[in-house]
Every structure is written in C-alpha cells, then in structure tokens.
Amino acid sequence: MRYLPFLFLLAIVSLGSCAQPEAEEALSGSIAEESLLEISIPELGKQYRDGSLTVLQAVQYYLARIEAIDQNGPGLRAVLAVNPEAEDIARALDAELKSGKDRGPLHGVPVLLKDNIDTGDKQPTTAGSRALLGNFAAEDAPIVARLREAGAIILGKTNLSEWANFRSTHSSSGWSGAGGQTHNPYHLSCNPCGSSSGSGVAVSANLCAFAIGTETNGSIVCPSSANGIVGIKPTVGLLSRTGIIPISFTQDTPGPMARTVTDAAIALGAMVGEDPKDPKTEGSSAFAKKDYTPFLDSTALKGKRLGYYTAVKGQHYKVDAVMGQAIAQLKEQGAEVVEINARVPSKAGGLSYQIMLYEFKDGLNAYLGKLGEDAPVQDIDALIAFNKADGVELQHFHQDILEQAAAMGGLESEGYTTALEEMLRLSREEGIDKIMEEHQLDALIAPTGGPAWKTDHANGDHYTLGSSSPAARAGYPNITVPMGMVDGLPVGISFFGRAWSEPLLIGLAYDFEQAAQARAVPTFEP
C-alpha cells in the first residue's frame, strides 16, 4: 500500500476529470448519442473492429459524459475519481488492434470499479472514507488484473455507501464522506440503493460500458434493481476477493453490473479464476466458465420449474402487480411457476449479522494494517477515532456498526465458529437446497426489491422489500434483471438458486430479458 497526501489526490482527480477530447478524434454530440448511448459490449467491439469508432473516442465520450452529467448537470455523483491514464491506455489498445492483436470481447471496453477495489495505479481506493483519501494500492486486485489482461480500460472509481454500508444502522445508501450523496438517475431526489450505488447509477446513466460492484447482502442486486440494470452476484468463491476492502469472508463477492445480461455475462467470464490468497476460490475452476455467452439461450425458460419465493409478497402492492406480469411472461416463455411459502429460518439473519461483525473487524484490521505508518488509521479503533474528529464523517449518521464490530472477539472464539456453522446450515441444507429439492425446482424467483425511496439523511434508508438475503447468506448466486416500472422507477426480478448455477441462471435471466424488454433509459427527473 502507498498512502499519499490528500492534496496529491486532488491533483489526480482534477487531471482526470478535466481531460478534453483531442479535436481530430472527438465525436460530435449527435453521433455520440446515436452510436454510444445504451451501446452493448458486442456492438462497441464491432465498431472498434470495423473502424467506425476508436477506443480513444469511446473513452473520451464517457469522460465527457461524466463531466457533463455526473459532476455537472444533474450532478449524479456516481464517480469518485477518473483514471488520469485512461486516454493513454486507450491509445495503446487502439495500436494493438491496428497491429492485429485482439484481446477479445473486452478489448478497449471502459469499466468503472466500486471504490473498495484496489488498483495499482494513480487511483486511490477509499471505501468512501475520508480516512483513505490518500490510499494508493501497490497492485491490482486479481479481478482487476484479469480485466486489464482482457483489454478492459479502468475508467475510474465509483462512489458507494461508505464502508459498503456497514457503518451505521441509520445510513443513507449512496452517501460517503469522500463523495457525498449519489442520486438515482430516474428521479434525482430518490435513492440509488447500495452499497454499489455509484456502479449502478453509472451503468444506468451510460457513464461506462459496465461496472463492477461488490455484495455482502444486496449490495449488487439492490442498486441494479433500483437503477434499472442487470446485476450478477456470483457464488462466493467464483471470483477472488483479494484486494477488496472486506466486510465478510463468508458472504463477500464482487460481480458485474451492466445494461444487459449479455454484457454482464461477458464481464463475469473475464474475472473468474482461482486465487491462492483467497481460499474460497479453491476448486472453483471445476465450476467456472471463461465464457458464459454460450448460455445466453432465448429458449432457456422452456420446461423449467421456478419457485416464486413469496416471503416478500404483499409488502408492496404495485411491485406485486409488476411481478404478476413478469410471472405471466415467464409462463409464456414455457416455464412452470409455483408459489413457495417456505422461508429460510429467520434466525439465520441474526446469525449472519453476528458473523459479519466478527469478520469485518478481522478483515478490516488486516487491510488497514497494511497501509503504512503515514496512514491516519491502521485499525478499526483508529478509524472510529478518526470519524469522531472529522468534520464530515458523522454529519448525517453515527457509526454504531463500526463500534459493535470493534467490540467483537477474534475468529477463534466459540461464539463465531458456532454462529457460522449454524447460519450456513440454516441457509443452505435447511434453506435453499432443501426448498429446491422438496419442490423439484430449477431456480427460485422473487422481486429484487421495491422502487427507490426518497433520500432522507435525517431518518436513513426506507426499504420496502428485498429478496437478497437467502442467496447472500448461503453464498449462492443471484441475478437481477429489469422487470418493469413503478411510478417511473424501475424494479427488478431476481433469479437465484444452488451454488455454482450461474450458467443456468444466466440462461433464464437472458430469456426473460429478451421477452420482457423492460430496461428504460433514465431521464434525470428532478
């Protein structure tokens, strides 16, 4: 880790955000809107290869759009920092294509990363905290290294719910001390959900081709649903977590966020791979696919038996109505849908929270301990003290979760090991696995969440419903896809199931997506 002064950070951010397209390479606004707004990864690649677009032009378009509508205009505040080297990297990748070197479908594709993911470059990794404004990692997280090798351009870092929303029980999703409040691009007064708030907003608002988020429980699928995009929360262990500021060793995972299932599938395949530093990935090669696009099947739903997980039914009548329309579409595509009233034991939620407190303290202390003597914090206790002394960090809500975690024992304690064993049993053998076996299901479905709520710093978040917990606690995969709108705000449908079932779920999600065509472009309503 390299810890650099805050003034240096300001220089980096300013350099990136003020970059201007070169006159001879710049696209006109009308051409840019026609060719790049809502563009897919395959179409972007096609234009690179037929010569109608350069990688540099695409990067400059996204940088200009970030400047116009994220830092100015509607002021989405989804992007914390842009990569000052992005244009140089784009030129190099253009040269590679001209010389005949093609890295594959992600060659020259701009991606934004949630700012809890390390990059070994001139971009800091902050987790949204002012305590880490000068934190520059010595090397890329493995998933970032794999994206670079595949040709993706790290365009910048996205804002997030600070510390991935594990700081306060009264937090406002999408707010961080480093970046302020991220706004929902459909209605700016509404919340983007979190904790991968900036990633969800950036993808939806066309500030990048795709983004990477992280999830412990809901942090990919909720902002994907609330911002009208696709999000894949993989099986824990499919992707490495090394170089990602942690919450829970048991539940954490990164995952792709994109405007289409196709784009998310392409991004997922580029990041898989075992990592000796992350024991959860051991043996994952037996299940991982370097290419998930063969599973994009427009007939995947035919003959499948899906269980409608009704634990969230009845909590929002307008969501129920949209879910009813989605179920009708699933049946039209040939699926059988049965209502599943069984629930994962509620005790699993309390156990999961206790496990997260133990693991957050352990993982965060390990990460902060590597920052060096110049960093303002080296452990969770120092972080708590920093926040109390800072003039911004506690202006809207407290840090009770940090304080609870700091009071926990170590991972060798009986309280932790007993809770972990019981939680996994309740969420797996007596949870998803049992439900799917008893009802002979191929997958489970549920509305991902309710429509976005009004952002309220005084009272915190106002969730109406969410279905992420069963898959999150089990460490199993979950994919959300746009299914419709409620009062001008998007809502998604989740497909989740057994461990390592990404190929099946991708097929089901793709088939539904192609039939429903529910993605709507945001209009930045005030």
Q: Is 349 exposed, middle or buried (0-12, 13-18, 19+ CB in 10 A)?
A: middle
Q: What is the 3-state secondary structure (H, E, C) of 367-379?
A: HHCCCCCCCCCCC
For this structure, is 225 an active site residue?
Answer: no
- In angstroms, the CA 194 to CA 1 distance is 26
Structure-token pair, residue 392: 């911004």
> Could you report the per-residue pLDDT of 384-414, keeping only the tens digit for each?
999 999 999 999 999 999 999 999 999 999 9
Q: What are phi and psi of 444, to 5 degrees?
A: -110, 150
Strands 180-181 and 210-215: unpaired
DSSP bridge pairs for 404:
none
- What is the C-alpha to C-alpha distance for residues 92 and 55, in angstroms, rounded to an integer? 9
Q: Is the pLDDT of residue 6 over 50?
A: no
Using pLDDT thresholds of 50, 70 and 90, give the confidence band for residue 20. Answer: very low
Strand order in the sheet with 110-114: 79-82, 153-158, 110-114, 210-215, 253-258, 230-233, 478-486, 489-496, 443-447, 305-309, 336-340
pLDDT tens digits along 73-130: 999 999 999 999 999 999 999 999 999 999 999 999 999 999 999 999 999 999 999 9
346 is catalytic: no
- pLDDT, tens only, 119-174: 999 999 999 999 999 999 999 999 999 999 999 999 999 999 999 999 999 999 99
Domain boundaries, the chain: 2-18+63-516
Let me know if 199 is a catalytic residue. Answer: no
492 contacts 449 by C-beta, under 8 angstroms: yes
What's the rounded mean pLDDT across residues 53-60?
A: 98
pLDDT of residue 431: 94
Catalytic residue selected from 114, 157, 280, 361: 114
**What is 2-18+63-516's CATH number?**
3.90.1300.10
pLDDT of residue 346: 75
**pLDDT (tens digit, 9 = 90+) per residue, 287-328?**
999 999 999 999 999 999 999 999 999 999 999 999 999 999
Q: Can you tell me the distance from the alpha carbon of 94 to that of 88, in angstroms, rounded to the nearest whole number?
A: 10
pLDDT score for 1:
64
φ, ψ at 283 (rounded to 5°) = 85, 0
What confidence score (pLDDT) does residue 136 get?
97
Question: Cα separation of 403 and 310, whole Å?
Answer: 35
Q: Considering the candidates 176, 219, 224, 494, report the single residue annotated as catalytic.
A: 219
Alpha-carbon distance of 402 to 387, in angstroms, equals 10
Q: What whole-number distance in Å separates Cα of residue 120 and Cα of residue 86?
A: 14
**What pLDDT band is residue 31 in, cutting at 50, 70 and 90?**
very low
461: left (phi over 0), alpha (psi -120 to 50) or beta: beta
Q: What is the pLDDT of residues 237-294, one digit of tens each?
A: 999 999 999 999 999 999 999 999 999 999 999 999 999 999 999 999 999 999 999 9
Strand 175-176 vs strand 489-496: parallel, antiparallel, or unpaired?
A: unpaired
CA distance 301 to 54: 38
In this prediction, residue 33 carries a pLDDT of: 58
User: Rounded to whole angstroms, how far apart are CA atoms 271 and 291?
Assistant: 10
- Residue tagged 């300013």 (tokens): 14
**Six-digit token string for 47:** 């234009």
Q: Where are the alpha helices (DSSP H) in 135-247?
A: 142-149, 162-165, 197-204, 221-226
**Residue 411 identity (one-letter amino acid):** L
Residue 30: pLDDT over 60: no
Q: What is the pLDDT of residue 2?
A: 61
Closest CA to 271 of 116, 152, 109, 143: 143
Segment 455-462 shows an average pLDDT of 97
Q: How far apart are CA 436 and CA 441, in angstroms?
A: 5
- Nearest CA to 81 out of 179, 176, 2 is that of 179
471-517, pLDDT tens digit by residue? Answer: 999 999 999 999 999 999 999 999 999 999 999 999 999 999 999 99
Quick check: helix, strand or coil at residue 170?
Answer: coil
**Tokens 């949630």 -> residue:** 114
Strands 153-158 and 110-114: parallel
State the catalytic residue, choosing from 129, 195, 196, 197.
Answer: 195
Closest CA to 280 of 237, 244, 235, 240: 237
Read off the tokens for 108.
Answer: 């020259």
Residue 21 pLDDT class (50, 70, 90 cuts): very low
Amino acid at site 252: D
Over the chain, what is the mean pLDDT? Answer: 94
Q: What is the mean pLDDT of residues 175-202?
A: 98
Length of the chain equals 526
